[in-house]
Amino acid sequence: MCGINGFSALGGSASGRNKELIERMNKKIQHRGPDDEGFYLDNYISLGHRRLSIIDLSEKGRQPMFNEDKSLVLIFNGEIYNFQELRKELENKGHKFCSKSDSEVILHLYEEHKEDCPKFLNGIFAFAVWDKRKKELFLARDRIGVKPLYYYFKDNKFIFSSEIKAILEHDIKREIDLEAFNHYFRLMYVPAPLTMFKGIYKLPQAHYLRLRGEQIEINRYWNIQDFKEINSKQEIIDKIQDLMRKSVQGQLLSDRPVGVFLSGGIDSTSVLGIVKELTQGKIKTFSVGFDIEDPNNKFNADLKIARETSKFYNTEHHELIIKSEDILNNLEKVIYYLDEPIAEPTQTATFLLSEMAKKEVAVVLGGDGGDELFGGYKRYYYSYFLDKYKFIRFFPFLKTKVYFKFMSQKEKEVGKILNKGINNKKITQQYFKRNYFKNSKSKYTNQFMLTDLKTWLADESLMRSDKMAMANGLEERVPILDHQLVELSVKIPSRYKMLNKDQGKAIFIEAMKKYLPEHVLRSERKKVWMTPASQWLRGNLNQKAREILSSDYFLENKKYFNFDGVQKMFNDHIEKRKYNLNLIWALITFQIWSKNTHR
């Protein structure tokens, strides 16, 4: 895992070369690659790379990396799990390799297949290839969106980076994008291609970008189109088992120690069980809990299950107990590393867990994706219920409304805190209708799962995971989100995924049952990972929260918010008259982000 940066002055002027500026960009993302850095500069472009050494720790694995005749230059962030097979194929075609790294495979693959090269890659990646002869820049991001990639294209310049903070080293006006702002207070994140910064964009997952002269073209290179259902339950189980085992095996590839994030749920336990089957020696596992009175076992049930699981698999188990002071002391730092606001109280716990894990390992495997692929959320059961009425699927506007109802905050509550001139009630519904539900005739359940995969999972969940892990120089891999498992998931009939509104992932659990200890199977199904954020806001965080939510905290934001409405919402929540934790956390996160960004 690494970090990449670059910029080009459009039209090929000499201002494309600026060593001092590319060094500043690299410094901003040093946390992503603490082991080494490298640069390439010519009159057209400046490229920078920060290295976190995982595969081929030698000097030959350094970047930027060149092909045989040095006509192509690569900077790469990620891991390619099938690089050894690809390397053999390329060597058979006459390509010569100088290193043992997965990075070099991308260079030769690009020589062979140009813009089609990402289609051959199984992995998590964001990379850039500069063609010195053609003066063309090619960027690509992995299918699921595990690795981030941002760009700015304006004012006669093109800039890209793994993180926004590096792009802001350029002389760019820092303006809030009002469409992104409205999305954020409804979804709790900003969906691609937008960011909270006007003019700075995410390259969406499964897309590539080509810069030629003063023009860019952006295209999708992978999409799920085969929805033909597999009706044989045993065939599905066999495929899940085979693909899960292959995925975990491929993602264990590393020249540095690998551990497992163990949440206590079905997904991470399944990953751990397969790791145990494939490896020898003690596995290092990492779990997090909270220092709080918890008589109903609401916040630490998963920690106790994880503890039992670690004993079952005889792992070297590490636990982190989070206190409210830890949140208070790290909140600003966490929001800085996020680049743009994401309203999720668990992110500080993820940051601190990654910090602890980094002391023991360089790579962790996580259980992300099981709910999205195999029907773990309650909303999928309701969409499955709607699918029984076949005529409904031919009314796309209904899909938008139903999906929006599940995923958005209540419009009435949003309207209380945003100023009337800023609040746009329809913009987020229009975004989903335009991009995901227009002319859609597929089943509700598949459509909702795929929309989650392309939006919430990529731009909220995986974005948080990457930023929090890489802030500590830790690589997190996600075996369940192998693209072949994703492609399989949409072919599984909903009746095999959901037994009832409280029991999803049925087919996945059945496929993984040999790896699931009895205490995991008999425990109440793991729900959403929760933090005691409401209790913290009524306790040690109360004074700080009131300060942040005051109209004087950041005067520039007075034009966006109705601070009387903000204060009332906060007080109603604290006094338990109304539950509005999501919007309150969104406000706190936005205020801190905005003040620190505009310093």
How would you label 380-390 residue by residue, b for 16+ Cβ within 10 Å and e otherwise? bbbbbebbeee
Instruction: Return the pLDDT at 447.
Output: 86
- Asked whether residue 88 falls in the same domain as residue 216, the answer is yes
Report the half-sphere exposure of 346 (CA within 13 A, side-chain side).
14
pLDDT band at residue 579 under the 50/70/90 scheme? very high
Determine the average pLDDT of the residues in 192-216. Answer: 97
State how many domains the chain has.
Answer: 3
Q: Which of 583, 585, 589, 582 is nearest to 565 (CA)?
A: 583
Instruction: Return the pLDDT at 383.
Output: 83
CATH number for the domain that contains residue 337: 3.40.50.620
Helix (H) or strand (E) holding 306: helix 301-312
Instruction: Return the pLDDT at 443.
Output: 80
The answer for residues whose C-beta is within 8 angstroms of residue 398's C-beta and 6 or more apart is 392
Is residue 366 in some structural domain? yes
More confident residue, 514 or 224: 514
Is residue 419 in some structural domain? no
pTM confidence score = 0.95
Choose the final residue of a domain: 220, 246, 273.
220
Is residue 554 in some structural domain? yes
Is residue 413 in some structural domain? no
Instruction: Report yes or no: 71 and 467 within 8 Å, Cβ to Cβ.
Output: no
- Asked whether residue 17 falls in the same domain as residue 113, the answer is yes
In Å, how far from its chain's centre is CA 13?
36
- Asked whether residue 158 falls in the same domain as residue 277, the answer is no
Helix (H, G, I), strand (E, B) or coil at 593: helix
Q: What is the mean pLDDT of the chain?
A: 92
Give the whole-angstrom CA distance, residue 419 versus residue 564.
Answer: 11
- Asked whether residue 28 falls in the same domain as residue 148, the answer is yes
- Asked whether residue 181 falls in the same domain as residue 41, the answer is yes
| Residue that the structure tokens 């009425």 belong to | 389
102 annotated to a ligand binding site: yes
Is residue 329 in some structural domain? yes
In degrees, rounded to 5, the angle at the alpha carbon of residue 262 between the alpha carbons of residues 145 and 371 is 50
Give the domain range for residue 124: 2-220
- Asked whether residue 74 falls in the same domain as residue 162, the answer is yes
Determine the average pLDDT of the residues in 571-583. Answer: 95
Give the whole-angstrom CA distance, residue 292 versus residue 265.
Answer: 21
In Å, how far from its chain's centre is CA 338?
11
- Asked whether residue 338 falls in the same domain as residue 240, the answer is yes
- Asked whether residue 26 falls in the same domain as residue 105, the answer is yes
Instruction: Return the pLDDT at 14.
Output: 52
- Asked whether residue 94 falls in the same domain as residue 196, the answer is yes
Q: Which of 138, 195, 188, 116 is nearest to 163 (CA)?
A: 195
CATH number for the domain that contains residue 79: 3.60.20.10
Is residue 403 in some structural domain? no
Is residue 568 in some structural domain? yes
Report cis status (omega within 30 of 0) of the bond before 34: no
Instruction: Report yes or no: 213 and 137 within 8 Å, Cβ to Cβ.
Output: no
- Asked whether residue 189 falls in the same domain as residue 293, the answer is no
Catalytic residue numbers, as ranges: 2
Choose the final residue of a domain: 522, 542, 565.
522
Helix (H, G, I), strand (E, B) or coil at 326: helix
Choose the final residue of a domain: 198, 220, 242.
220
Span 311-367, pLDDT tens digits: 999 999 999 999 999 999 999 999 999 999 999 999 999 999 999 999 999 999 999
Helix (H, G, I), strand (E, B) or coil at 265: coil
**% of the chain residues with pLDDT over 70:** 94
Span 52-104, pLDDT tens digits: 766 656 676 688 999 989 999 999 999 999 999 999 999 999 998 988 889 99
Is residue 326 in some structural domain? yes
- Asked whether residue 280 falls in the same domain as residue 203, the answer is no
- Asked whether residue 207 falls in the same domain as residue 246, the answer is no
288 annotated to a ligand binding site: yes
Span 229-252, pLDDT tens digits: 999 999 999 999 999 999 999 999
